[in-house]
Amino acid sequence: MKNILNAPFLTEMIRTATNMYAHGWDERNGGNISMLLDEAEVRKYLDFPAIVRTIPTGFEAPALDGRIFLVTGTGKYFKNVQYDPAKNLGIVRLAKNGTEAEVLWGFSDGGKFTSEFPAHMMSHVARMRVNPENRVVMHCHPANLLAMTYVHDLDEKAFTRTLWQMCTECIVVFPDGVNVLPWMLCGTNEIGLATAGKMETARLVVWAQHGIYGAGRDLDETFGLIETAEKAAEIWMKIAHLPLKNTITDAQMHELESRFGVKAREGWLEP
């Protein structure tokens, strides 16, 4: 049996969590990550079916029954993940239509998965319906996107177009745009369902006055989506109070579509 601390999926999760903390996106115990794992890969590092304990999830997710996830723990600081992965991370397998999570490794102090586990799992289901290769859901609190929700119209089309206009790469990186939820109580099934609904049409969902959810095929793609949107928000926050003399026009964004083989969300650019 191989040492799980050398597993590529674990080392990449540790690097990502550390990098997110360094970016200032995950203060204290803010933020969470979940990643769908391949069972055959996990079997190289863990005995099956060695279940450490079982935790009720508080929701149903039949589509994920038997699926295995690497997930951050509730109340855990991202800055500490690199120093004690077994305490701050856990590998769980969903069972009984997703109503139970079987801990296969981690949460060594008796802890459990993030309080946003419902939103993560529901978002995984929604994104996998759109793209079966989706494996990662990531939530964090980037300062500029968060600040933007206090002063910008929360209309999704308007919010997205502002971000697209800030950096040439934005429409290339997230042509599906950014969806937005008004403030809702976090850690509930209700916000999980609402987020999943928004995930059906975009890989980025902003939680107003809270943070952002991103989804992707791997940790790099998901991190990069959030990183790009946050950079655009930073630029907007720096210039929003100034008279605008130049911008990226819709015609120029159509040029970017053609050049990079992407298609902006239907109806969100002028013909």
Catalytic site positions: 116
Which of 153, 211, 215, 148 is CA-nearest to residue 184?
211
Q: Which ranges of the chain would DSSP assign to H, the alpha helix? A: 8-22, 39-42, 85-88, 117-130, 143-151, 156-166, 170-173, 189-199, 219-239, 250-260
Those residues whose C-beta lies under 8 Å from the C-beta of residue 32, and which sit 6 or more positions away, are 71, 72, 114, 115, 116, 117, 120, 138, 139
Q: Which helix (H) or strand (E) holds 186?
A: none
d(CA 91, CA 113): 9
For residue 245, list its beta bridge partners. Answer: none
- Cα(192)–Cα(13) distance, integer angstroms: 23
Whether residue 71 contacts residue 92, with contact meaning beta carbons closer than 8 Å, is answered with: yes
